[in-house]
Amino acid sequence: MAAIELSELGVTFRPGQPGAVRALRAVTLSIQAGEFVSVVGRSGSGKTTLLHCLGLLLRPTAGKLVIDGVDTASQTDGQRAELRGRRIGFVLQDRNLLPGLTALENVLLPLRYGWPRRGARTRARELLAQVGMADHADDRPGQLTPGQAQRVAIARALIKSPSLVLADEPTGEVDDETADDLLQLMQQVNRTSDVSFVVATHDPEVGSCMDRMVRLTEGTVAADDRLRTERIRLSSIR
Amino acid sequence: MRGVVERKLRSALTIGGVAAGILALTLSGAMAEHFGAQFDGGVRYYRAAIQVADDAGSPAAVVSMTKIDQIQRVPGVAIALPSIQLLARPGSTSAVPLGLPDTIAYADPRETRYSGLPTKVAQGRQLQANRQGEVVLGADLAQELGAKVGDTLDLPVKPRGANPDFVNHPFKVVGVLRRTNTLPDATASVGLLDAQMLLQESLPASFRDRVDPSSLASGITVYGKPGVDLDALADKITATVPGIAAIRPTDYVRGFDQSGRFSAATIAIEALALLFGALVIGAAMQLAVVERAVEIGVKMALGARAWHVAAEYVVEATGIALIGGVLGIAIGLGLAQLLDLAGRSIGMDIFLVTFRVLRIALALTVLVGLAAGTAAALRVFRADPDAALRMV
C-alpha cells in the first residue's frame, strides 16, 4: 500500500463564483513510503496547493486523498490536525521560524500542541546536531543565515518522527551552494530513515536531484518521471 | 506571553493603556467608596432619628431646650436629646466642595443606646459628664489637625484673616475615635456646657447677649419607641409642639440624593475607564492576530489546532491585561494616598481604597483581558492556514 494516494484530486477556489480558480485538476499520484519526490512547476502551477492538500491544510473540492490508509475527506478538522501533527512535518520558505524563539525552542515548538515532551530537549538537540546546527541551539532566527534557518526548520519538521515531510521551496531564498547543502541534508535524512519527502520547487535542476520529479502545469500532472536510483548533487548539474 | 516580550513597544503601549483605564477605575472606585461610606453612614444615622429644628423665626437657627420636655410628652417618643453642631473651621471653604465639613458637636451620651451610628474610641477615652475643656476627635479631624491624645488645641480653629473679636478656647484631646468613614470622622465632640458656650459665641452679637447659653441647642434629636413609624411621629411632633419643625427621616435622607447622583457619575467614569482599557487591549490583540497570520499558519502546519492558537491569544491578552491592571491598581493606590495626604490639611480627603475596589478592579482587569483574548481567538478560528502560509 502506498503512503499517500491521490485520486482525481481537484481544488477550486471560490467555486461557483465569478473568478473561480481551478488550482488543481484531477491530480492522481501515488507516493511510496521513503520516496524522495519533487513537485516542479512555474509559479501558479499548483505546487503549493498540492502541498497544502497533502499537509491537510486545505480540503480538496474534488477527488480523494488517502494517507496511511485513511481517507481524509471524511475527517473532521480536529482529526486532520491530529493526523497532520502525528504524521507530517513541514519545511516552509524563508521566515518560517518564530522570531522570538531560539533555534532549540523552534525545534521543540510542534511538541507544544498535545505531544509528550519527555526527552524532547535531548531529541531536539540531537536533531540540531544532525542538521549541523548544534552550536546554534540558543541563537534566534535573526542571528541565523537563511541556510542555517532552513536547517533548523528541517530539524523542526523531524521532531515528531513523521512519515512524510513536505517542503515548499526550501531552497528558494538561498544561494546555490547552500541549496546544495540543504538538498544533501534532506537526502541524508531520507536515506537514513523511512521518511518520505515531497519537495515543491520552481527550479527543475533542484527537482532533478531527487528520485522522482512530478511536473505540474496549470494544476495538472504534465509529467511524472522516475529519474534514477543514484542521487546526484545540484553542483554537478549547474 | 512571549509575544509580549517580542513586541516591546506595542506591549508597553497596550499595558500603559490598560493601566490608565484601571488607574481611573481604581481612583473613581475609591472615590465612590469614600462618598458611598459617608452616604451610608448618614442614611443609617438620619433614618433612625427625627431631626427637630426651630420653626419660630429664630435669628440664629437655635432651638430652646425647653422644647425637649414638650417633645418628650408626645406619644411614641422614646427620648428627645439636645444636639449642637458648629463649624470647627468657620470661614474656611473646602478646596473641593465635596465631603463633610469639620464640625464641633455635642451628642448626649444616652444617644449611643439609640443611634444607628455608634462610635468607638481608638485611643484615649470618651468624654466624661460635667467635665469641661475636653474634646474627642474623629479620625480624619485628628489627622487634619495633627492632634493626638494629650495635645491641646484651640476650637474653633481660627481662620486666616479672622475678625479681631474671634474667640476660641483651648481643649485637651482626651480621645480619638476609630475610623467610621462617615460623619463622626470629621467631628470634634465636646461636652454640653462647652458646646453651648461655643454656640452662644457663634451667634450674632445683637442676639448673643440676650440668651441664656444653658437653654441653647442647635437641634433636637428624637428617637421613637420600637415599632413606631418615625415619619408619622415627626408629623405628630410638628403638629403638637409649637415653634418647631420635625423633619421626616425619609425626607431628610432624600436630601442625600446628590450622593446618589455622584455614585451614578462614578459608575459612568468606571464604565468609560473599562471601555477604554478594553478597546486598547482589544485593538492590540486584533492587530496581533492580523500581524501574526503567518505565525498562526506555521503553528497550524506544525500540528496546532485552532483552539491551541486561540488559547495562546487568550492567555496573552489576559497576561497583558493583568500586568496593566496590577500596574494601574498600584499607581492608583499610591496616587490616592498621595492626594489624600496632600488634601488632608484642607479637608480634601476623598479616597477610600477598600478590598472591594481592589477585587472589582482586578476582576474587571481579567474580564477585559479575557474578552479581548476571546475576540482575538474568534478571529483565529476563522483563520485560513493555507492562505496564511502563502504569505510566507
B385 at A interface, C-beta within 8 A:
yes
Q: Which of B102, B92, B86, B106 is nearest to B147 (CA)?
A: B102
Q: In this predicted structure, what is the pLDDT of residue A233?
A: 66
Under 8 Å CB pairs connecting chains A and B tally to 72
Q: What is the ipTM of this complex?
A: 0.87
A-chain residues within 8 Å CB-CB of B391?
none
B-chain residues within 8 Å CB-CB of A76?
none
Residue with cell 473561480: A20
Question: What is the spatial distance between Cα B180 and Cα B137, in angstroms, rounded to a whole number?
Answer: 12
Q: Which residue of A has its CA nearest to B308?
A: A113
| B277–chain A nearest CA distance, Å | 26
Q: Which of A201, A234, A229, A235 is nearest to A215 (CA)?
A: A201
- Where does the pLDDT of residue A149 fall: very low under 50, low under 70, confident under 90, or very high at 90 and above? very high
Asked if the Cβ–Cβ distance from B392 to A96 is below 8 Å, we say: yes
Q: In this predicted structure, what is the pLDDT of residue B95?
A: 42
Question: What is the spatial distance between Cα A55 and Cα A98, in angstroms, rounded to a whole number?
Answer: 20
Domain boundaries, chain B: 2-38+258-389, 56-242
Question: What is the spatial distance between Cα A56 and Cα A224, in angstroms, rounded to a whole number?
Answer: 22
Burial of A62 (0-12, 13-18, 19+ CB in 10 A): middle
B315 at A interface, C-beta within 8 A:
no
User: String of b and e for B345-380 (b: at least 16 CB within 10 Å)?
Assistant: eebbbbbbbeeebbebbbebbebbbbbbbbbbbebb
Q: Which of B2, B294, B386 sits opposite A57 (nearest CB)?
A: B386
Question: What is the spatial distance between Cα B117 and Cα A12, in angstroms, rounded to a whole number?
Answer: 78
The CA R_g of chain A, rounded to the nearest whole Å, is 17
Cell of B93: 471653604
Say which amino acid occupies B90.
P
Say which amino acid occupies B265.
A
Q: Which of residues A37 and B387 earns the better pLDDT score?
A: A37
Cell of B373: 483574548
Q: Which of A84, A95, A98 sits opposite B303 (nearest CB)?
A: A84
pTM: 0.70
Domain A4-237 in CATH 3.40.50.300: yes
DSSP code of A11? E
Q: Where are the alpha helices (DSSP H) in chain B?
A: 2-6, 8-47, 66-72, 139-145, 192-202, 205-208, 230-240, 249-254, 257-291, 293-301, 306-343, 355-381, 385-389
Distances (CA, A) of B207 to B59, B82, B83, B203, B373: 8, 20, 20, 7, 71
Top residue of B302, B305, B382 to mutate, by most chain A CBs within 10 Å, is: B302
ω into B156 cis (within 30 of 0): yes
**Nearest 5°: phi and psi at B325?**
-65, -45
Domain boundaries, chain A: 4-237
Q: Which residue of B has its CA nearest to A93?
A: B392
Q: What is the DSSP string of B216-276?
A: EESEEEEEEPTT--HHHHHHHHHHHSTTEEEEPHHHHHHTTHHHHHHHHHHHHHHHHHHHH
Tally of CB atoms within 10 A around B223: 22
Strand pairing of B244-247 and A62-67?
unpaired
Q: Which of A100, A113, A160 sits opposite B5 (nearest CB)?
A: A100
**Tens digit of each residue's pLDDT, chain B (392 residues):** 555 566 677 788 888 888 888 888 888 888 888 887 877 777 888 888 898 888 765 555 678 888 899 999 999 999 999 999 888 888 665 444 556 778 999 888 888 788 777 788 999 998 887 789 999 999 888 988 889 999 999 989 888 777 777 888 999 999 999 988 888 888 999 999 999 889 888 887 777 777 777 788 888 999 999 999 999 999 999 999 988 889 898 888 876 656 566 667 777 777 777 787 778 878 888 877 777 888 888 999 888 988 899 999 899 889 988 999 999 999 999 999 898 888 766 666 788 888 888 898 889 889 888 988 888 888 888 888 888 888 76
